[in-house]
Amino acid sequence: MQKLFGSNLRFMRDNARWLGAGFLLTLFSSFGQTFFIGLSGNDIRATFGLSGGTFGALYMVATLASASTLPFLGRTLDLMPGWKVVRFTIPLLALACIGITLAPNLIFLTLAIYMLRLFGQGMMTEIAFTEIGRWFVASRGKAMSLIVPGQPFGSAVLPVLVVLIAQASGNWHLAWWLSAGVLVLIAWPLLMRLMQVERVPNATEVQSSASGTARDWTRAEVIRDPVLYMLLAGLLAPPFIGTVIFFHQGYLTELRGYSPLAFAAAFPVMSLATVGFGFVCGGLIDRFGALRLLPFVLAPLTLASLTVALVTPVWGVYAFMALLGMSNGFSGTLMGALWPEVYGVKNLGGIRAIIVASMVLSTAVGPGITGVLIDMGVELPTQMLGMAVWCVIAAGSLTIASRRVRAREAAQ
């Protein structure tokens, strides 16, 4: 144990620049994540007089537009260094934070949400996973497990801060202005400095890699590959289901009579579970490879969905958040390490842009569909039973996909 701890400590020390950059990218993606936008959901609805279904539809339109843009914008990571992409991504994300407070009508509100989703959830995550996937080979799983906690750290700290700031000031705009200031004054210069030095895996790392890297596929080949869609059938479940819960957190707390802080106080539970399971998954990836773990990745999410559906006391929120954290740690770390094993690294930026765009698409469809069903009288807990069934079926799809990829690698 002491030897393992010492090895991990040396790894973090020797690669602090690049691991720190990845962690900060996932952390500051929080400002475009659904959980953060959802914290102002009730205030936005009240300001513009929107129902849950209408706001969900608006959010879906903005996120769909983001998903359609991301494959083109993400391609920039194959054409220029990551720090140059950061150079324009962070200022535009900060502008979106300000824009959501100044929107005079629904058109500008939709535009602000579109930019939050594109440059926050989309590009910040895309940059982090693409760069880490290229920088590390033999320790790719370990590296991913160390940067994935950035977003759960944000989800642990920011909800409580936003609620307290709103209660103290009586103005939900203030948290968004402070977010823009943090992005411009802290995130931008720090990430630019960290990322201007590239990490290049040496020959020993490449040769000792257990997880391996596939031959370099082109984007056209990837789009035509049936395995891609088998993988997405399962791997889109975590962002879809997590987004639905975070987006409708205000509705769920009202439905079950929870206090306003009950949900916000449960985020640290999710974050701790995410970090813990991320580390476990990272070690397993470096030992066995991401492909062999695919069949098991949706098990925690299945239990999380059943918890929301069936457990009504307030402790159910904490149980759900713990299970969702396990799912996020497992799926987030695995998703970061999986694609180089399946499609190589040469065109990883453009390929990951397709994947992230699909994830963003799932987060767009989720609030829209579930919001309409809620307006039709189908309560969210009832809908979560269907999502648990989805997870079970999708686990079978991931199992078949894993076997097919390993079979074609063995045939090469």
**Residue 2 placed within a domain:** no
Give the residue carrying structure tokens 């895996």.
201
Cα 86 from Cα 9, distance rounded (Å):
28
CB hemisphere CA count around 381 (13 angstroms): 15
**Residue 3 placed within a domain:** no
Phi and psi, residue 105, nearest 5°:
-155, 180
Domain count of the fold of the chain? 1
Question: Per residue in 130-162, is it b (16+ CB within 10 Å) or e — as a string?
Answer: bbbbbbbbbbbbbbbbbbbbbbbbbbbebbeeb
**Could you list the pLDDT tens digit for every one of the 412 residues in the chain?**
445 445 667 888 888 899 999 999 999 999 998 888 888 888 898 888 887 778 878 888 898 888 888 888 888 888 888 899 999 999 999 999 999 999 999 999 999 999 999 999 889 988 998 888 788 876 777 788 788 888 878 877 888 888 888 888 888 899 999 999 999 999 999 999 999 888 776 555 554 444 555 677 777 888 888 888 999 888 889 888 988 887 787 778 888 888 767 777 787 888 788 878 887 887 788 777 778 888 888 999 999 999 988 988 888 888 988 998 898 888 877 877 787 778 877 777 778 778 877 877 787 778 778 888 888 888 888 899 999 999 999 999 999 988 888 888 766 6
**Residue 376 placed within a domain:** yes
CA–CA distance from 258 to each of 197, 263, 286 (Å)? 48, 8, 41
First to last CA, the chain: 38
Report residue 88 as tokens: 């324009």
Cα 258 from Cα 405, distance rounded (Å):
46
Amino acid sitting at position 78? D
Burial class (CB in 10 A: 0-12, 13-18, 19+), 204: exposed
**Residue 5 placed within a domain:** no
**Residue 160 placed within a domain:** yes
pTM tops 0.75: no
CATH assignment of the domain containing 332: 1.20.1250.20
**Residue 4 placed within a domain:** no
| Cβ contacts of 93 within 8 Å, gap of 6 or more | 28, 31, 32, 115, 116, 119, 120, 123, 124, 183
**Residue 1 placed within a domain:** no
Domain, as residue range, for 384 = 10-411
* Alpha-carbon dihedral angle through residues 136, 142, 146, 152, given to the nearest 10 degrees: 120
How many other C-beta atoms are found inside a 10 Å radius of the C-beta of residue 240?
A: 21
* Alpha-carbon dihedral angle through residues 171, 177, 178, 180, given to the nearest 10 degrees: 160
Report residue 191 as tokens: 């990430």
